[in-house]
Amino acid sequence: MSIVQLYDTTLRDGAQQEGISFSVEDKLKICQKLDELGIDFIEGGWPGSNPKDIEFFARQQELCLKHATLVGFGSTRHSGCSAEEDANLQALLEAKTQLVTVVGKSWDRHVTRVLGTTLEENLDMIVESIAYLKSKGLRVFFDAEHFFDAYMTNPEYSLKVVTYAAQAGAECVILCDTNGGSLPRQITETIEAVQKVTSIPLGIHAHNDSELAVANSLAAVEAGVIQVQGTVNGYGERCGNANLCSVIPALKLKMGFDCVTKEQLGKLSDVSHYVSEIANMPHYDRFPYVGVSAFTHKGGIHVSGLMRWEDSYHHINPDLVGNRPKVVISELAGKGSIVYKAKERGLPVPGNKEIEKILKEIKLLESQGFQYDTAEASFELLLRRSQPDYRPPFELVDFMVVVEKRRRPPRSGNQEEPLSEATIKVKVNDRIVHSAAEGDGPVSALDQALRKALLQFYPDLTAVTLTDYKVRILEETAGTASKVRVLIESSDSKEHWRTVGSSTNIIEASWLALADSIEYWLIKQSALKQVQGRD
């Protein structure tokens, strides 16, 4: 198997994404994860650009990298300034990395219009910067910025940039699709042209403005480049960079390049989620390979096929990248979906008649606005309730919710704030409990009243909190008479679960989702205690 070098620039290019700002501690943590993943080169940042990156490189001794090489990034010397006097190059030396990447202009239009210098001076800047850093004992990579656009408009000059960088001592020249507008065929043809004038190892740095960064990176590898640059989750400016979480498994599993070990590949999903958590960015469910929906199936035919042959609707084994298959339930589900989910959740598999009843109920409820593919706790309750011996931990007798304004002062003393109060009767075993509570809104009041009634029977219920509440209007044309779907997410700090309710009455829809949330947790706790009792 051939080897391709993996170069990660999440901590620089990735940090240029809108909404991302890594602290020094964040960058140190991400470095360790990338090293564990088997990344060869980790670009730590631009030490001459900001105090945060200066501090990061000053603290690099805190890292315990077993595989990766830490890289400092900077530009060529400025026009009209010697390499020895250039502050940017001095900052690269002060970063004390063994390897640096220097970016320079390869597009003649950028040289004259952006840098405001001559084409000859730009070549001198590239050569002198690389030679100077090499003279100080550093390994140097050269990023040829805008190379593919440059080659289209002035192939002779762009090729000169590469050959001059190679002659100056660059270890690898990385061809950059900086504006992200190239097509795979253009990438391949340009690389082939470069290979005719120099034998220096080449790399690819692709941006995703045309949704082709991964495709362009793989095309470049097929054309002979030995290094791929990218970011975790494709983070980066504008539309982002080549997503290494897609590039790595494609190289390893599809193209036969031994870029990481099997064990390292198995950490890919964890690393993807870890970096998104530190970046404080929601993890995109539909990421290839590492997203939670990457191997999720909803159609009954798909699930039936999976149960007969687990690879029937998967392009790879999800375990290889640390992911897992998932089946969601909807009106598209078939019998196989019910069997699969029952086994997955450790529940008794219903018989054929029961499965038919469950499917009929799901299709009816979804036609009424329920949606179970994102509310698996409510679906599990459907399965449990289909069992003849199932006894719910509580049953609703009735409830009433009052929202009033001005009739009496609210708790906060703010006369403009409406007051919400709920009264509720629930049956637990043979006892009927009547309770009332106020809340910040009608759903809050219902929640408080239900808890007040149940806590005397289930004191551990205090661990459960409502973490998210979403309402969606299902029939916009019906105005205020529209059906609404309520999705509630709850947590006990150990597990998160979602439940759903639907009705033309938003309070009733909220109650259905809320009651499911509490019932689900109580049933799970009861089952856990039974297991612990047997142990």
Domain boundaries in the chain?
A: 5-278, 296-367, 395-534
214: closest CA among 189, 238, 195, 239? Answer: 239
Integer-rounded Cα Rg, in Å, for the chain is 30
CA angle, residues 126, 129, 131, in degrees to nearest 5: 105
95: closest CA among 137, 53, 148, 50? Answer: 53
Strand (E) positions, 440-493? 465-473, 484-491
132: closest CA among 79, 86, 191? Answer: 86
Count of CA atoms in the C-beta half-sphere (13 A) of 264: 22
Per-residue pLDDT of the chain (535 residues; tens, 9 = 90+): 468 999 999 999 999 999 999 999 999 999 999 999 999 999 999 997 889 999 999 999 999 999 999 999 999 999 999 999 999 999 999 999 999 999 999 999 999 999 999 999 999 999 999 999 999 999 999 999 999 999 999 999 999 999 999 999 999 999 999 999 999 999 999 999 999 999 999 999 999 999 999 999 999 999 999 999 999 999 999 999 999 999 999 999 999 999 999 999 999 999 999 999 899 898 898 999 999 888 776 655 655 666 566 776 789 999 999 987 766 554 445 566 667 766 776 777 777 777 777 777 777 776 767 766 667 888 888 888 888 888 999 999 999 999 887 666 655 556 667 888 999 999 999 899 999 999 888 999 999 999 999 999 999 999 999 998 988 887 655 566 678 889 999 999 888 999 999 998 999 999 999 999 999 999 999 888 776 665 5
Q: Kind of pairing, strands 465-473 and 484-491?
A: antiparallel
- Whether 132 contacts 102, CB under 8 Å: no
525: closest CA among 500, 533, 221, 160? Answer: 533
Q: Is 429 exposed, middle or buried (0-12, 13-18, 19+ CB in 10 A)?
A: exposed
CATH of 395-534 given 1.20.1540.10, 3.40.50.2300, 3.30.160.270, 3.40.1390.30: 3.30.160.270
For residues 503 and 505, give the distance between their C-alpha atoms in angstroms, rounded to a whole number: 5
Contacts of 42 (CB under 8 A, 6+ apart): 8, 11, 31, 34, 35, 65, 68, 69, 70, 71
| CA 54 remoteness from chain centre | 28
- Whether 57 contacts 72, CB under 8 Å: yes
Could you tell me the pTM of the whole model? 0.73
- Contacts for 499-503: CB closer than 8 Å, 24+ residues apart: 499/375, 499/377, 499/378, 499/381, 500/370, 500/371, 500/372, 500/374, 500/375, 500/378, 501/370, 502/365, 502/368, 502/369, 502/370, 502/371, 502/474, 503/369
Enter the CATH code of domain 5-278.
Answer: 3.20.20.70
Contacts of 393 (CB under 8 A, 6+ apart): 428, 454, 457, 458, 519, 522, 523, 526
DSSP tag of 112: I
Q: Is 258 exposed, middle or buried (0-12, 13-18, 19+ CB in 10 A)?
A: exposed
DSSP tag of 318: G
